[in-house]
Structure 1
Amino acid sequence: MAWKTLDDMDLDGKNVLIRVDVNVPVENGKVTDTTRLDRISPTVLEVLSKGGRPILLSHFGRPTRGFDLSMSTQQVVPALSQVLNRRVHFASSCIGQTAREAVDTLPDGDVLLLENTRFHAGEKNNDRGFAKDLAALGDVFVSDTFSTAHRAHASVAALATLLPSCAGRLMEEELKALTNSLSEPERPVLAVVGGAKVSSKLVLLKNLIGPMDKIVIGGGMANTFLAAQGHQVGQSLCEHDLQDTAREILAEAEAANCEIILPVDVVVAREFKEFAENKVRAADDCPRDTMILDAGPDSVENICNKLEDVKTVIWNGPLGAFEIPPFNTATDAVALKVAEMTEDGQILSVAGGGDTVAALKKSGAAESFSYISTAGGAFLEWMEGKTLPGVAALDDTK
């Protein structure tokens, strides 16, 4: 699959529709985290530098009945203007006469943000008629929202087929990072897969067995695998009904020469709360009245030793209950090891997913990773081997 980038487009004097993601957290009318706005800034500013007139399309929240003031993109304007250091105008609709007039009167050097695309049913339906209404506002389409690329929505997929289209800098970064880490990785490659349930990442695990040389399984997911091996897991979160599935995954991995790395020791406690009294036990020695809340020090040492032999690391999910100290210990220790190896140029490290980003930021390791994806569902679906509509629509080989 190949796609054009901003380097391939003539933007001078053009109305440039840019699909971005400004779905940021807002409290009391103010944006509390500008990360997503920061990430789209390079594309918007480059369009301006090339003489283009940026017209931003985005969703906000999940409206179900048309207009909803609490989900208007207008509330993002002040923060976006500050991030871009440009005046940002707002249009109260993303199609029709209101949007047309806002586009026609947009001063050169300024930016226009249109109203929430999801206020229209045609957005989620990937309706071509709605996409044509959007396309009528621009000359070029730039997709800069990998975070919604797994959605077959009009402003993500259909619109890309109606105008000369390319990937923005954020989309380009995401695609290159994921291609280098999963599709065409430097080997050996290791994946860290954590989280609460095997059922939520069953497709992911099965898809990774082929491309990966090693897979570290952590978090609540690991408990199901330990139980499948006949170990007592006490009161731990565990999907006992998936033990057969866990054994199948272990067998498939062995047949594919993919090493599965499970905890060899665990941190157990009787209460799920901060600084609960805890003990380190062997992975096959969890007392019946306790729960596993983290991987133990021997497990951390084992994982770090495995890292010494790899060239690429993909990370999705924590190794323990990282939100509650001290059960963030294993996640932090391994994350900092990956960060150190990345800084030393030993490995390429790519991570993504909501809990993953939060855990890596909390550990202080995030800034040293090669790439941290802001996408949640799209990152997971790419790892699962699924075709993302928003990426397929940009395919320049069709």
Structure 2
Amino acid sequence: MTVPSVKDAKVAGKRVLVRVDFNVPMNDGKVVSDTRIIETLPTIALLLKRKATVILVSHLGRPDGKVDPKYSMAPVAKRLEHYLARKAHLLPDFWQKKAADYVKKLPKNSLVLCENVRYHIGEEHNDPKFAKSLADLAEVYVNDAFGTAHRAHASTVGVTNYLPSYAGLLMEKEVHMIGKAITKPRRPLLVIIGGGKTPEKISVIDRLLEIADTIYLGGAIANTFFATWGISVGVSRVDHEMIEMARAVLWKATRVHAQLILPSDVLVSNSNQQTKPFVLPYNQVPGSLGIFDIGPASIKELQGLITGSKTIIWNGPMGMYEDERFIEGTKATLRAIANGHAESVVGGGDTISMIKEKELVGKISHISTGGGAMLEYLEKGTLPGIEALKNGHKK
């Protein structure tokens, strides 16, 4: 899939509204991790180099349509100033006419950061009036927030009805790398799905059974499939409402080329994880215990699958990685992918947050900034934000 690129946009001397994903982790009013800010810097730098006035817009947390200082973009503005060595004008009440007037009077080539776009209730409702107020700030629109492209919001979809629209460099890379992995993969193609969000992921698994050579399941979603088979998972997290959908996926797996594989052994403890973890076969988990990671035999099997693959898509951890005792399945998966030779696409908020070893990060072909967006793109091959760019580009 191709999208209209910011590289082709005529932006010199113009005001450019850029949707970014600065939904960064915060603690005590300070940015804890600025990875998402860093990822958008190439697009911002390109626009500034081409003498555009850049107006950034993002959400942060869930203020539910109300102004809440806890979710202010002010700490993000400071971090931007650090990286770009220029003032970032923080714009409150950006939906009001006075904000548009203010931006128009700024010197050319200025940098502006709107306050939290979710301070206005019209954002998540894709309100046309609110979308028009965003468009009034600028003359060109760029979307560089792949992580929110699955949301049909005013700043991702509605605004494209009023401005010529383009994909930023990060968005363009995401679309290319994920699209290539599902449309033109080097085979064998291995898909590894872990974590929770069972309803979203079951739909993706169903779709990828038609594309992948092997799908390996871990994490909470594997528990749901075990339960579908009537296998006891004790106090493990199971999405019981998804049992019927999982059964349909298992039926489909018997009729397609792809293999669907579940862990052969698991790491267990009691419900509050006070019992010292130990390994059991997948079908011998007693009612008083729960599954919190894949076991050593499963790790070895998954490592073998990774070594034998030429394209790998991974979304979601193999266990409760927040606890060091249950992180080995996820870490081993990461190490095997990073040290292998396959083209790799890794995504999902939980997966990304545990990738702290920089030498491993550099060995992964593409780390997606989208969790839910990546899943939906894998399933449907497009996203509302991507389709909006195509339509907006025609203006």
Match of 1:356 in 2: 351
Displacement of 1:287 in angstroms is 3.6
- For residue 380 of structure 1, the aligned residue among 355, 375, 385 is 375
Partner amino acid for 1:192? Answer: I
Match of 1:131 in 2: 131
Deviates more, 1:224-233 or 1:154-163: 224-233
Deviates more, 1:37-46 or 1:158-167: 158-167
Deviates more, 1:372-381 or 1:93-102: 93-102
Displacement of 1:260 in angstroms is 0.8
Match of 1:280 in 2: 279
Cα 1:250–1:134, aligned 2, differ >3 Å: closer, same or farther?
same
Cα 1:348–1:91, aligned 2, differ >3 Å: closer, same or farther?
same
Contact 2:97 2:133 in 1 (8 A): no
Match of 1:180 in 2: 180
Cα 1:71–1:244, aligned 2, differ >3 Å: closer, same or farther?
closer
Q: Distance in 1 between matches of 2:359 and 2:268?
A: 25
Question: How do 1:233-244 residues align onto structure 2 when only pairs under 5 Å count?
Answer: 233-239=233-239, 242-244=242-244
Identity of aligned residues (%): 39
Measured against aligned partners, the alpha-carbon deviations of 1:288-319 in whole angstroms (never above 9, x if no partner) come to 43322221111111112122332111111111
Measured against aligned partners, the alpha-carbon deviations of 1:173-199 in whole angstroms (never above 9, x if no partner) come to 111121112233222211111124644
Displacement of 1:330 in angstroms is 1.5
Q: Which runs of 5+ in 1 are unaligned?
A: none
Match of 2:270 in 1: 270
Q: Distance in 1 between matches of 2:73 and 2:197?
A: 34
Displacement of 1:228 in angstroms is 3.5
Q: Distance in 2 between matches of 1:112 and 1:239?
A: 44
Deviates more, 1:257-266 or 1:60-69: 60-69
Q: Distance in 2 between matches of 1:236 and 1:65?
A: 36
Partner amino acid for 1:390? Answer: G
Contact 1:261 1:303 in 2 (8 A): no
Cα 1:321–1:32, aligned 2, differ >3 Å: closer, same or farther?
closer
Cα 1:186–1:149, aligned 2, differ >3 Å: closer, same or farther?
same
Partner amino acid for 2:20? Answer: V
Displacement of 1:157 in angstroms is 0.8
Cα 1:260–1:52, aligned 2, differ >3 Å: closer, same or farther?
same
SS in 2 for 1:361: coil
Cα 1:79–1:214, aligned 2, differ >3 Å: closer, same or farther?
same
Partner amino acid for 1:322? Answer: Y
Match of 1:51 in 2: 51
Displacement of 1:243 in angstroms is 4.6
Count residues with an aligned counterpart.
393
TM-score w.r.t. the length of structure 1 is 0.90
Cα 1:75–1:311, aligned 2, differ >3 Å: closer, same or farther?
same
Partner amino acid for 2:233? Answer: V
Cα 1:189–1:53, aligned 2, differ >3 Å: closer, same or farther?
same
Contact 1:86 1:109 in 2 (8 A): no
Question: How do 1:139-288 residues align onto structure 2 when only pairs under 5 Å count?
Answer: 139-196=139-196, 198-239=198-239, 242-270=242-270, 272-273=272-273, 276-288=275-287
SS in 2 for 1:60: coil
Displacement of 1:134 in angstroms is 2.1
Cα 1:226–1:104, aligned 2, differ >3 Å: closer, same or farther?
closer
Match of 2:288 in 1: 289
Match of 1:300 in 2: 299
Q: Distance in 1 between matches of 2:185 and 2:169?
A: 21
Cα 1:281–1:361, aligned 2, differ >3 Å: closer, same or farther?
same
Displacement of 1:161 in angstroms is 3.0
Match of 1:392 in 2: 387
RMSD, aligned CA: 2.4
Contact 2:307 2:336 in 1 (8 A): no
Match of 1:17 in 2: 17
Match of 1:338 in 2: 337
Contact 1:94 1:116 in 2 (8 A): no
Contact 1:37 1:83 in 2 (8 A): no
Displacement of 1:230 in angstroms is 4.4
Cα 1:197–1:95, aligned 2, differ >3 Å: closer, same or farther?
closer
TM-score w.r.t. the length of structure 2 is 0.91
SS in 2 for 1:212: coil
Cα 1:104–1:217, aligned 2, differ >3 Å: closer, same or farther?
same
Cα 1:280–1:66, aligned 2, differ >3 Å: closer, same or farther?
closer
